Amino acid sequence: MTTPIVHLSRRYTFPASHRLYTDRLSWAENEAIFGKCANPNGHGHNYRLTVTVAGPVDPRTGFVMSLDQLDDAVRRHVLDVYDHRYLNVDVEDYFDVVPTGENIAKRIWERLEAPLTGRLRRIVLDETRNNQFEYTGPSHPT
Amino acid sequence: MTTPIVHLSRRYTFPASHRLYTDRLSWAENEAIFGKCANPNGHGHNYRLTVTVAGPVDPRTGFVMSLDQLDDAVRRHVLDVYDHRYLNVDVEDYFDVVPTGENIAKRIWERLEAPLTGRLRRIVLDETRNNQFEYTGPSHPT
Amino acid sequence: MTTPIVHLSRRYTFPASHRLYTDRLSWAENEAIFGKCANPNGHGHNYRLTVTVAGPVDPRTGFVMSLDQLDDAVRRHVLDVYDHRYLNVDVEDYFDVVPTGENIAKRIWERLEAPLTGRLRRIVLDETRNNQFEYTGPSHPT
Amino acid sequence: MTTPIVHLSRRYTFPASHRLYTDRLSWAENEAIFGKCANPNGHGHNYRLTVTVAGPVDPRTGFVMSLDQLDDAVRRHVLDVYDHRYLNVDVEDYFDVVPTGENIAKRIWERLEAPLTGRLRRIVLDETRNNQFEYTGPSHPT
Amino acid sequence: MTTPIVHLSRRYTFPASHRLYTDRLSWAENEAIFGKCANPNGHGHNYRLTVTVAGPVDPRTGFVMSLDQLDDAVRRHVLDVYDHRYLNVDVEDYFDVVPTGENIAKRIWERLEAPLTGRLRRIVLDETRNNQFEYTGPSHPT
Amino acid sequence: MTTPIVHLSRRYTFPASHRLYTDRLSWAENEAIFGKCANPNGHGHNYRLTVTVAGPVDPRTGFVMSLDQLDDAVRRHVLDVYDHRYLNVDVEDYFDVVPTGENIAKRIWERLEAPLTGRLRRIVLDETRNNQFEYTGPSHPT
């Protein structure tokens, strides 16, 4: 008999700014690839982060995971570092990597995987109301 | 040749109240685990329920399933029992089980599985705009 | 020269339960008027509260009002009393008054008017995604 | 070592009208199955289309796929044909097929599969805020 | 002493199709003014209608107006006529008038003013998630 | 006889970054007032701008105002200057003024008032999904 698994998704938001630009390319190439997103002083978003964890339901509490514990992990490992920051300049994750939605989703996964001890299943990052990025970890290439 | 399968998701809402509290724990334990959610007289939510069914598309009607049939199953097996109720007190599903989002998603699956005759694929329950619970059945532990 | 006035609206949410029922009416009348909303043990909502204040913009800070100050007033005078409560039973505002959206909007205005010292302009209460109640105070009968 | 895969979802909207009606059925059967949706002159929706592509992240640009390239494919193969049209009358995809959400999702997949060269993963079509259709292609019968 | 007035807003949706085109103009003029919206066979929207009524709160029921009564008026005078229809062809309101959002908002006001017996205050029509039309009646030219 | 007036609201979004900080205050004062919003390198938002114009409905076209004309004014006078920019550094409107939501709403009004030739009625700026700023011009102190 398998234990039923429930997925819990919890949503966080953090305003931050970023710039899509890389020193590995010429200015003309940056502009061709990134357009307005390469503007020198950056721009920003209200990033919406949805973290999904999964597990069996604790028969005593009815929880897959305590929300306090989840919030605490996200706050300490992501929000305290990313919230109200200029990602390219303030966050070392993006010193060598362009902070595209794709890369931010991956980096957030990497930051949360260990603290969430095997329960992390999915990171969804909404950059705008039209663009969404989803990462389910290195072992789920789908 | 496989028959193409389409997933249809339909959204329902039902206001209800619940209390996170269990007699198996002391009052102090309940408070430590559930916080304000353990308040004696309960509180409520506009639960948003999304039911996903899947199947081949009927070549005549273009439907995976008739919406009337789906609505009827959800109304009779879920909404008539849960809508405008205090789940802990009015609904037997929660006489022994804490009505957390996790457990509500599971119980709704169990209520709909038979009536939807093999087509049910996913139950998503949004408790608030930040907390979402997803259950895909006992055989899909993901 | 008039000083330009800006309106600031800030949104809060609080889950709570209520029951539409009054002792002044017979059970049959209650049921005829309130339907499912009169169910004996209540039901709940994720109430969404939008508080609008207005004033001139402080030339130094660019603020109409400090968000901390606004949040503090709403927390102390509304959320600490209403959040995660059964309004009919736990909150004295509704011991004599049916906690309809109309009455909740009015009572929240009355709770916030003094603490917000003349800057309160509008209370909007969303009970569900389809029902909204708006109160602009006793002196604005519109 | 597997290359990490990120999913990018991008949302488009297009107003269009349709009628649920088929010549293969009698008028009475059409009415029984489709109800108001069979009204003779059609009705309309703001269709919301979410296209999901997947792939490894380009280490230089941080992109799974250029948004310009994705937008261009969706515009040329879907929006230019569907947007502001009466699907039954103006779009050959529905000359023989009832334009239900199920069929629209499938046809959009078929239109985008080749131009997106193996990266297409999912088509989600929201017909209203309550009805959603999802197609993941013929090889993913789920 | 003035009686406090509360505004109640209730939201309805109806899918319908329309065409922006008028016989008073040449085809070229129609195209110049209405663009894609003039396409010969029309297109559609999920119109979202918000009806606002105002009045004193009944001290017995706590209601400004019974939702059943409001729903009944909107259903009989608007939805039964507009829902799942091609406005230009099926609804006489638009035989001489282009069914723009502006005109639809006005015509809905005119349909509801008498049945709502002096309590109607505002009609808001959302045509898409970006375009909204508001009409507050002939005596409120604002 | 008054001519009926309809209000048209149209929504735009622009990502931008800003920093709440002013040289007129000490660093400690800035931090006390603005908190995380004073972080040295700024942060960002997906600003949502809703522009409301009003006027009589043109009996020929059914429009209060051509959307093309409105879009053109907003694009040229606001979006071309604000979109994908760091407001404090890139936009002269904020060289002397803290780019709070209040001030941004006012400055956008000032930019649009002349081009919209007397039809502008309201600027609403949503900074996040919880904070909204509204400005109705210097002559409507409300």
Which residues neighbour C137 within 8 Å (Cβ) at sequence distance 6 or greater?
C109, C113, C120, C121, E4
D45 forms beta bridges with D16
Nearest CA in chain F to E129: F11
ipTM of this complex: 0.94
pLDDT at position F140 is: 61
Residues of D with Cβ-Cβ distance to E128 under 8 angstroms: 13, 15, 46
Cα separation, F118 vs F104, whole angstroms: 20
Task: Give the pLDDT confidence of C42-91 residue by residue, as tens digits.
Answer: 999 999 999 999 999 999 999 999 999 999 999 999 999 999 999 999 99
Chain D: give the shortest CA distance to residue B19, in Å.
28
Has residue D128 got a pLDDT over 90? Answer: yes
Task: Give the pLDDT confidence of D96-118 residue by residue, as tens digits.
Answer: 999 999 999 999 999 999 999 99
Query: For chain A, what's the residue count?
Result: 142
Has residue A1 got a pLDDT over 90? Answer: no
pLDDT at position A2 is: 60
E10 forms beta bridges with C131, E51
Q: Is C44's CB within 8 Å of B18's CB?
A: yes
Alpha-carbon torsion E94, E95, E96, E100, what sign? positive
- How far, CA to CA in Å, does A92 sit from each of A85, A96, B86, D60? 11, 8, 49, 17
> At CB < 8 Å, which residues of chain B contact D?
2-12, 50, 52, 54, 57, 60-64, 66-67, 121
Query: Closest to E41 (Cβ–Cβ): which among D36, D39, D90?
Result: D90
Q: Is C105's CB within 8 Å of E10's CB?
A: no
Task: Give the pLDDT confidence of C11-35 residue by residue, as tens digits.
Answer: 999 999 999 999 999 999 999 999 9
Task: Give the pLDDT confidence of F29-68 residue by residue, as tens digits.
Answer: 999 999 999 999 999 999 999 999 999 999 999 999 999 9
Has residue A142 got a pLDDT over 60? Answer: no
Nearest CA in chain E to F121: E142
Residues of D with Cβ-Cβ distance to B9 under 8 angstroms: 131-134
For residue C20, count other CB atoms closer than 10 A to its CB: 23
Model confidence at C1, pLDDT cuts 50, 70, 90, reads very low
Which residues neighbour A56 within 8 Å (Cβ) at sequence distance 6 or greater?
A3, A4, A5, A6, A64
Nearest 5 degrees, angle CA F122-CA C134-CA B49? Answer: 100
Chain B: give the shortest CA distance to residue C22, in Å.
17
Query: For chain D, what's the residue count?
Result: 142
| pLDDT (mean) for F112-135 | 97
Q: Which of B5, B48, B74, B140 to mutate to test the interface with D (most CBs of D within 10 A)?
A: B5
Chain E: give the shortest CA distance to residue D69, in Å.
24
Q: Which of D33, D48, D102 to mutate to test the interface with B (most CBs of B within 10 A)?
A: D102
N-term to C-term CA, chain B? 27
At D67, the amino acid letter reads: L
Q: Is F62's CB within 8 Å of E97's CB?
A: yes
Model confidence at D3, pLDDT cuts 50, 70, 90, reads confident
Q: Is B141's CB within 8 Å of A5's CB?
A: yes
Model confidence at F1, pLDDT cuts 50, 70, 90, reads very low
D to E CB pairs, distance under 8 Å? 79
Q: Where are the alpha helices (DSSP H) in chain A?
A: 27-34, 67-74, 80-82, 87-90, 101-113
What letter would DSSP give residue D69?
H
Give SS3 for E25: coil
CB A74 within 8 A of CB A51: yes
Task: Give the pLDDT confidence of C81-126 residue by residue, as tens digits.
Answer: 999 999 999 999 999 999 999 999 999 999 999 999 999 999 999 9
Give SS3 for A32: helix
Q: Is F133's CB within 8 Å of C4's CB?
A: no
pLDDT averages per 10-residue partition of chain B, 142 residues: 86 98 94 95 97 96 96 98 98 97 98 96 97 92 50
Task: Give the pLDDT confidence of E36-69 residue by residue, as tens digits.
Answer: 999 999 999 999 999 999 999 999 999 999 999 9
Q: Are C and E touching by the rule of 3+ CB pairs within 8 Å?
A: yes
Active-site residue, D37 included: yes
Model confidence at D139, pLDDT cuts 50, 70, 90, reads confident
Q: Is B41's CB within 8 Å of C13's CB?
A: no
| pLDDT (mean) for F66-87 | 98
Tokens of E136: 């507050």
Which residues neighbour D84 within 8 Å (Cβ) at sequence distance 6 or greater?
D14, D15, D16, E36, E37, E39, E43
Task: Give the pLDDT confidence of A80-137 residue by residue, as tens digits.
Answer: 999 999 999 999 999 999 999 999 999 999 999 999 999 999 999 999 999 999 999 9
For residue B76, count other CB atoms closer than 10 A to its CB: 12
Query: Closest to A44 (Cβ–Cβ): which among F36, F43, F90?
Result: F43
Q: Is B63's CB within 8 Å of D99's CB?
A: no
Cα separation, D112 vs D107, whole angstroms: 9
> At CB < 8 Å, which residues of chain E contact D?
13, 15-18, 36-37, 39, 41-46, 83-86, 89-90, 128-129
Nearest CA in chain E to C24: E60
With CA atoms as reference, report the closest residue to C77 among C127, C117, C137, C129.
C117
pTM of the model: 0.96
CB C100 within 8 A of CB E63: yes
Task: Give the pLDDT confidence of C78-90 residue by residue, as tens digits.
Answer: 999 999 999 999 9
With CA atoms as reference, report the closest residue to C23 among C88, C75, C79, C114.
C88
With CA atoms as reference, report the closest residue to A15 among A49, A40, A41.
A49
What letter would DSSP give residue F75?
I
| pLDDT (mean) for F7-25 | 97
Q: Is E9's CB within 8 Å of C97's CB?
A: no
Q: Is B63's CB within 8 Å of D100's CB?
A: yes
H-helix or E-strand spanning residue F136: none
pLDDT at position C3 is: 78
pLDDT at position E2 is: 60
Residues of B with Cβ-Cβ distance to A62 under 8 angstroms: 20, 22, 97-100, 102-103
Cα separation, D124 vs D108, whole angstroms: 10
Query: Closest to A133 (Cβ–Cβ): which among D2, D6, D60?
Result: D6
Q: Which of C36, C83, C84, C129 to mutate to test the interface with B (most CBs of B within 10 A)?
A: C84
Can you list the residues of chain E whose pLDDT is less than 70? Answer: 1-2, 140-142
What letter would DSSP give residue C24?
T
Q: Is E141's CB within 8 Å of F2's CB?
A: yes
Cα separation, B141 vs F73, whole angstroms: 54
pLDDT at position C31 is: 95
Q: Is A17's CB within 8 Å of F44's CB?
A: yes
Model confidence at D2, pLDDT cuts 50, 70, 90, reads low
H-helix or E-strand spanning residue E62: none
Chain B: give the shortest CA distance to residue C92, in Å.
14
Query: Closest to E60 (Cβ–Cβ): which among C25, C106, C139?
Result: C25
Query: Closest to B60 (Cβ–Cβ): which among D24, D105, D137?
Result: D24
Nearest CA in chain C to B87: C43
Three-state SS annotation for chain B: CCCCEEEEEEEEEEEEEECCCCCCCCHHHHHHHHHHHHCCCCEEEEEEEEEEEEEECCCCCCCCCCHHHHHHHHHHHHHHHHCCCEHHHHCHHHCCCCCCHHHHHHHHHHHHHCCCCCCEEEEEEECCCCEEEEECCCCCCC
Q: Which residue is it, tokens 């532990």? A: B141
Model confidence at C2, pLDDT cuts 50, 70, 90, reads low
Cα separation, A79 vs C47, whole angstroms: 26
